[in-house]
Structure 1
């Protein structure tokens, strides 16, 4: 089982741990319909009101947390200078979300592994040391 992401050092190690944890969460189907918030996001995205507002707040908190750790990785020199944390978050969330969707809709058992490989390539492409992303 994957260690909690908060046990990883802040910055690149935490970003990678979060991605791995997210992938494991999707793969193990804690909820029968995949990620609870992914399902709720798609259900409420065009329905104004307090439920949508709460879902938006959770998404922004998650994205902000992930962006903070990407920014720490840039500051530490673990990712290339000029790397835009919000862009990395957009791509990581997109890849992992697509894996969840494909694994559910298409019963694709390889989707989570492929998404995690893509996240790793994304981080390496922005200067991360591949040895730190097992």
Structure 2
């Protein structure tokens, strides 16, 4: 077998492990991940899984990075393809809700679940999750700032505060839909996001 062939097989093996690990962690938590469990689930040897990650913490860190790439593909990239300002802000919010509602991860938003698991547990894994959340909130706040500069939102729209409120509505929808089996939670969040932005818009009718 050529070096390229071995590399391709190794990359495919790592991809399969991470896909399974992300799905498992979104439902059962990052602490539920283990090299032995993944080996059993995938029908491979423990040594094969261990060779890719080496430790449980490295596995958890790799899963967080992989989940971040999925979130970027499913939510951030489509949002950034929209015009800056209100269209982009609504696109990012709707993209987040759609990503949760479609169960891209079976446990809803991966970062909501993992964040709740590690929010009071200092260490490397918590830091990685916190960085991902900060990046999302900064993006939302910057998009609010752009909308203000474009004259779409009033000066009363504090970017950090608005980003916090919109994110809170999205997280509430994710939690309510999962815990209470309430599919209308997503529509309520969409309505709440639009009501909040209309209240801050220079032209309320510009918020669909």
Structure 2 length as normaliser, TM-score? 0.61
The alignment status of 1:125 with 2:199, answered yes or no, reads yes
Are the aligned partners of 1:13 and 1:132 in contact in 2 as well (CA < 8 Å)?
Answer: no
Q: 1:64 matched to which residue of 2?
A: 138
Higher CA-based Rg: 2
Extract unaligned runs of 5+ from structure 2: 1-74
Please give the alpha-carbon distance, in whole angstroms, between the structure 2 residues aligned to 1:20 and 1:131: 18
Distance 1:55 1:5 in 2: 21
TM-score (structure 1 length as normaliser): 0.93
RMSD value, Cα: 1.6
Paired positions, count? 133
Whole-angstrom distance in 1 between the partners of 2:121 and 2:202: 39
Question: In the alignment, which residue of structure 1 is the partner of 2:189?
Answer: 115
Mapped to 2, the partners of 1:132 and 1:4 lie a distance apart of: 20
Candidates 102, 115, 123, aligned match of 1:28: 102
Between the aligned partners of 1:128 and 1:45, the Cα distance in structure 2 is: 37
- Give ranges in structure 1 of 5+ residues lacking alignment: none
Q: Which has the higher contact order (CA 8 A, sep 6+)?
A: 1
Q: CA shift at 1:37, angstroms?
A: 0.4
CA distance in 1, matches of 2:187, 2:206: 17
Higher helix share: 2
